[in-house]
Structure 1
Amino acid sequence: MNDNAITLLEAVNLALARAMADDPDVVLLGEDIGTNGGVFRATAGLQERFGERRVIDTPLAETMIAGLSVGMATQGMRPVAEIQFMGFIFPAFEHLVAHAARMRARTRGRLSCPMVLRAPFGGGIHAPEHHSESTEALLAHIPGLRVVIPSSPARAYGLLLAAIRCDDPVIFLEPKRIYRASKTLIEDNGQALPLDTCFTLREGSDITLISWGAMISETLDAADRLAAEGVSCEVIDVATLNPIDHATLVASVSKTGRCVIIHEAPRHGGMGAEIAATLGEQARAALLAPPCRVTGHDTLMPYYRNEQLYLPDTDDIVTAVKATMEYVE
């Protein structure tokens, strides 16, 4: 048991250390992850502990990082690659989409691709251009790629362990706005959390709030505020965006009859639309109001002076919930 509560960032480090200690085939690679411990220090101390052959500093070359990871994974290793920011992930797409996602099907099961690609994502830290993107929908659209997003230190620890042990490629997106936002006492027991499932964080009866990543914080704040006004909110953390645990979402909305979906990515083509469509198909008879979305805007993430104008906040969620509760067909 750890003596101190830890942050989401520290939970990532703890999970990486546990995975490397448990399995000698787990290796880390990425830009500045060894000597400097990564841009956010997620890998701090790991090279000193496990050596340069297992915590590998690479050149500034995302294409190479992804390609090496695919090669290592097909040959029995379990590489965990870091892309410094999600906005730099596009040079890696060729290997992720054309190779990692297809390896099992291409080889008729002879080869798998047990790699993890980690990337900090999302806004809220006053970063420059290309450092605050939320393009998870692009990745979740690719069959064969799991897309996993933790929203707390406990889920970061458990889901990252599960991702590393998974025999298929996993994109593990870390919401950097909440890297150090809260602390949780975590037992370093090596227990993974299940992939491909939603987590119900709060039971409720009037409306279902669906979110993931950093927006879970504002979603829970909104649920607290609404509870004081007599509105009972069920809060669900999707956690795995591909494949989505539709059964949990449909069951919740079938119970409450209403839902609001919250994400900071742009509205158009976002995962909120996919979830809303599925609920419309599978929970239509129970819906008392159309599914509502609270999202970022269909613009580039602005520079830090206007960043808060882009990001949804607690007031936006509360307003959407009240409008949904008041809807009359």
Structure 2
Amino acid sequence: MQAPITISPIPKPKPKITWRRLSLFLMILPLLVLVIAFSYVPLFGWVYAFFKYKPGIPLSETPFAGLEYFRLLFGANSEIGKVLINTLVMSFLNILSSPLPIVFAILLSELRGRRLKKFVQTVTTVPYFISWIIVFSLVFSIFSFEGIFNTLLTQLGWIKNPVNVLGNPDTAWYVQTAIVIWKNTGWSAIIYFAAIAGLDSQLFDAAKIDGAGRFRCIWHVTLPGLMPTFIVLLLLNVSNMLSNGFDQFFVFYNPLVADKLEVLDYYIYRVAFHGNDYPFATAVGMWKTLISIVLLFAVNQLAKKFRGQSII
């Protein structure tokens, strides 16, 4: 009886350090250093959340607080509930407006004039690079009591008294969402322009042969081709719901809309630098980071379940 033939696995060749690989690593090395310096080194500051730290006193002479500030975070007198509602509402409104860059990219890609298309794309992308200080100055000059908006409506007889757009707490969430849409839509559409350019032109030709017009081509070819990109960006937005940014709310914050615009990022800043309560602000920041990580991995599992592959 002949013995069975065993086939030994072919050993994988060991990767060699070539000059090309080394040059690519050296190119990315400054970025890694910056990420470590600004994203990981500050994590050592989390230790302040467990001490009753006061500015000017060495940490070694500071009494140990344990989990005291975390108990205050979820205590009955904590403001975190109101702040969390503002944060989630602003994030939810931004997620609701997330399809707008897709619509804008599709409509702009359907324009025939190449120069007009480039002009519109440039004009709509520029606001993304304008600082929030300049944006506030522009919005204030338009919507203040003596701004263009109130002056024009008053002269037309549509209103008798000026409208306080930036100081109305009932519309503060929607005003800020509209400003974000104006500022970010053009920039957010760039990735969809790239996705549209990468679609197979044969699919459009086949649809036209079957009698599809421009709208049918958009509905049955362009939109399905953009859906994977949209889903990934949507899931990333969901995982980042607790981070609304700081600059926007810092410049638009005023006593009239304080209860509506105080999100987590601004709340941490106010507690730390206005109230000099660095340990409590650190505890809030730690809680926000841990919840964001949990959301990220939860969204990653959803992506793996519905798309068949994860996003990280």
Question: Shorter-chain TM-score category?
Answer: under 0.3
TM-score (structure 2 length as normaliser): 0.21
Larger radius of gyration: 2
Q: Return the structure number with greater helix share.
A: 2
Q: Which protein has greater RCO, CA pairs closer than 8 Å, 6+ apart?
A: 2
